[in-house]
């Protein structure tokens, strides 16, 4: 059996990546160091289950991924 990925993390990565690629189609995923922020406490916080279906939480975690992929995160 494989490793389970919580739905909130999956949707954040999937939709955030889609939006980043839509904004910057030439984005090279091999040049983005995702482990630094993917394993961060901040990412864990935005993808936590507390209020996971609230629009602000959904938007926040999707935009977290998009901004980090585009290199515009704070």
| pLDDT of 31 higher than 90 | no
Predicted pLDDT of residue 52? 66
Predicted pLDDT of residue 65? 94
Identify which has the larger pLDDT, 16 or 33: 16
71: left (phi over 0), alpha (psi -120 to 50) or beta: left
Predicted TM-score of the model (pTM): 0.84
Predicted pLDDT of residue 30? 79
Contacts of 69 (CB under 8 A, 6+ apart): 16, 17, 20, 27, 29, 32, 34
Predicted pLDDT of residue 16? 95
On whether the CB atoms of residues 17 and 65 are closer than 8 A, the answer is yes
Predicted pLDDT of residue 44? 87
């Amino acid at each position: 059996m494989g490793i389970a990925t919580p739905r909130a993390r999956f949707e954040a990565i999937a939709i955030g990546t889609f939006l980043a690629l839509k904004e910057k189609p030439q984005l090279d995923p091999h040049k983005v160091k995702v482990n630094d922020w993917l394993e961060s406490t901040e990412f864990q916080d935005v993808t936590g289950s507390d209020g996971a279906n609230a629009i602000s939480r959904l938007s926040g975690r999707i935009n977290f991924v998009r901004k980090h992929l585009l290199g515009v995160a704070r």
